Amino acid sequence: MDYTQAKQRIEQLRAVLWENSRKYYVENAPTMSDYDYDQLMHELEDLERAYPEYATPDSPTRRVGSDLETGFAKYPHKYPMLSLGNTYSIGEVEEFAERASKSLEEPFTYCCELKFDGTAICLTYRNGKLFRALTRGDGVMGDDVTANARRIANVPETLKGSGWPAEFEIRGEVLMPYDSFDRLNKEREDNEDQPFANPRNAASGSLKLQDPEEVARRGLMCTLYHIPTGQVDFPTHDEALKAAQEWGLPVSGERRLCRNIDEIEAFIAHWDTARKQLPFATDGIVIKINEMDAQRQLGYTAKSPRWAVAYKFKAEQALTPILSIDYQVGRTGAVTPVANLEPVFLSGTMVKRATLVNEDQIEMLDICEGDWVYVEKGGEIIPKITGVEESRRQPGARRPAFPKVCPDCGTPLVRPEGEAKWFCPNIDGCPTQIKGKLVHFLSRKAMNVLAGDATVDQLYNLDLVRTPADFYDLRESQLLILEGWKERSARRFLDSLSESRNVPFERVLFAIGIRYVGETTARDIARHFGDIDTLMGASKEDLTAIPDVGEVVAESVFQYFRDERHRAEIQRLRAAGLRMAVARSGGNASEALAGKTIVISGNFSVSRDEMKALIEANGGKNSGSVSGKTAFLLAGSKPGPEKLKKAEALGVPVLDEEAFRKMLPEGSLPAVGDENGELTLF
């Protein structure tokens, strides 16, 4: 790999890792398994070691993912909340132990604990009472979820006994037990809401609810496992946890002191099997140097402690037969093979189906009808087939024939050049695609209407809805003929439809479901053109002038608006009162940054996403790279050196956050907490 290839791969890996980090921490909807994410992270670490000139302080190898969200007060952590280095290899655990032995002169032991699969929490107790609860946030700042933490049953409001410091932090994990998870998902399905993919996502989403009473109903639990050094005077980590347990704090009892690597490996082997009997999710073992002096001596990297490592269990696997294979049509027309399986219990849930991805994947796995297959839950999220047990294959077993026509409407399938999937091109006539687009239109990130698949099925089957505009013609009397509908449910649905008229144009554009146009692309296109009429008249060249809009997206958008049916649908939605132009800034926003392209780098008093939103709300435009068109580089703490160098070379001004704040109207920046817990308004 030459220098140019290395730089391109490093940039590609960083983009993929940050995007999946956002989906994991912020959206609670990961699309990549933990294992795949970790493998990409290790590849990036190796490349940055081999090409140190491309290493930057803002790389995901040096910063933890952020779960900061709007709607919560933010406070700094007294001590940074770092992430743990992790491995799937016993050999690397042995290397960790060897490094510690070489670095430490005094004898030491290990404290081995379960690695809980939940969402991180930091509790501060002041004078024996719960003072504040913060999420991990970006490791430096956290979201204040104190009101919600108070509603977790095993988090004590007041400590027991004596001997606790006047003020101290203790950290751990908020979990959702399997029973609570199953109950919550059944409720969500009954209400036609999207179920959570796994207990970790459910715990994280529940901790960030705005209603503490609903948090109490979710059945969360907390387990605590770390008091940062310097706050309590105990010689070992284990003794600190024993004291915390005596104070009434929910400390995990499933830990063991180990003297050597053999005892560590025995502990790992035990829990790799025993964890399946636990009432909550675990995904590995954490090995910590037990002695506090040794921890201080080993210290930290930029992202993780050198005195601890996490061994992650490989994804749980099961062997079960394929009963049949279905071919499902998605809202974009993509046809996906799905295996129906003999039900098998895996990672806390009963698995009955697993995706086969596409025709190439079936061929690569060499799957035949009736095969016994190995099933995993990638990162304990999405069931997937990873292999075939050929010894159990029946004589004469046949390979499945991928359909040549759409299984729903019978239209011949097409496979565009460069695509791995087959598609049904009948986008406006295929019933499954139509219903998929309707569900997408109503979804939370689109129009946010209180309805889901079951409602769409009912309305479609009664020929009441065929396009999104049809929703706005519905009357209460029509809804009351639907099975299971009462006046209250009809009114809630109609009220949410009415509220959707206030959804901004960017989300309306996303909601109509143009192929390849996701949330970010829809926002960029909407803000570039300003209104639907200008967009409908745009050429492909106009579209590709937008940063990050390539030929494929431009062609898709251009062709969408060439179809008279789509243009007629836009007019109906406009007539229904939906917003078809970007709203002008209001409230505290201004045009103070109008015409300015700004690059940000480093850490700020608010999250980077909030800083970017602030720039846009005041008329500015964000860019990821410094160029001659950059108005200024906004540099927080620890800005990227490459960006600073480029700004200097091009004569681009560099502003710190204080200077930036002075450019904006008073009250533009959100409130954050200072180190004394007081709110400061910028």
Contact 477, 404 (CB under 8 A): no
Catalytic hit among 7, 23, 74, 115: 115
Contact 157, 167 (CB under 8 A): no
Contact 374, 393 (CB under 8 A): no
Task: Look up residue 85 and give its DSSP letter.
Answer: P
Q: What are the tokens at 445?
A: 């990130």
If one counts every other C-beta atom within 10 angstroms of the C-beta of residue 265, the result is: 16
CA neighbor of 378 nearest in space, from 418, 415, 351, 408: 351
CA distances from residue 13 to 346, 444, 577 in whole angstroms, order as listed:
30, 29, 42
Q: Letter for the amino acid at 396?
A: G
Distance (Å, whole) CA 322 – CA 164: 57
Distance (Å, whole) CA 198 – CA 215: 17
Alpha-carbon 578 to chain mean position: 29
CA neighbor of 475 nearest in space, from 487, 458, 484, 483: 487
Reported as half-sphere exposure (CB side, CA atoms, 13 A), residue 652 has a value of 23
- Which H or E run includes 204? helix 199-207
Q: Where are the alpha helices (DSSP H) in 208-260?
A: 212-217, 237-246
Distance (Å, whole) CA 135 – CA 127: 21
Query: Is 638 considered catalytic here?
Result: no
Q: Which residues pair with 600 in a beta bridge?
A: 634
CA neighbor of 608 nearest in space, from 139, 76, 68: 68
CA distances from residue 590 to 308, 587, 633, 634 in whole angstroms, order as listed:
48, 8, 20, 18
Distance (Å, whole) CA 601 – CA 476: 52
Rg (CA), the chain: 27
Q: In 3-state terms, what secondary structure has residue 329? A: strand
Task: Look up residue 451 and give its DSSP letter.
Answer: -
Contact 500, 450 (CB under 8 A): no
Contact 367, 333 (CB under 8 A): no
Work out whether the CA dihedral 432, 438, 440, 443 comes out positive or negative: negative
Q: Distance from first CA to last CA of the chain, Å, rounded?
A: 47
Distance (Å, whole) CA 222 – CA 199: 13
If one counts every other C-beta atom within 10 angstroms of the C-beta of residue 404, the result is: 8
CA distances from residue 335 to 317, 326, 421, 427 in whole angstroms, order as listed:
26, 10, 7, 13
- Residues known to be catalytic: 115
